[in-house]
Amino acid sequence: MGPVSIITNGAALNITAISYVDKMEFGLVACRRTVPGVQRMIEYLEEALIELEQACA
């Protein structure tokens, strides 16, 4: 299984999350013209997950 979705008409970004047992996965699909820095969003998501793990520890 993979967190994949599609961009619908009028949307510029789709974030899909799935979890199974002890894993959580995210998939980001974006319009390259509307959201040119989507790679930075992945970095921010990783940083936020680290913060969340630390807060829950």
Domain residue limits at 21: 13-56
Task: Name, in order, each residue with C-beta under 8 angstroms of 50's C-beta and a sequence gap of 6 or more.
Answer: none
Residue whose pair of structure tokens reads 């829950």 in the numeric block? 56
Separation between Cα atoms, residue 54 and residue 57, nearest integer Å = 5
Residues 27/45, Cβ–Cβ less than 8 Å = no
- Each residue of 6-17: pLDDT tens digit? 778 888 999 999
The reply to whether 40 falls in a domain is yes
The reply to whether 22 falls in a domain is yes
Res 40: pLDDT: 93
Q: For the chain, what is the domain count? A: 1
Separation between Cα atoms, residue 44 and residue 20, nearest integer Å = 22
- Each residue of 5-52: pLDDT tens digit? 877 888 899 999 999 998 889 999 998 899 999 999 999 999 999 999
The reply to whether 6 falls in a domain is no
The reply to whether 8 falls in a domain is no
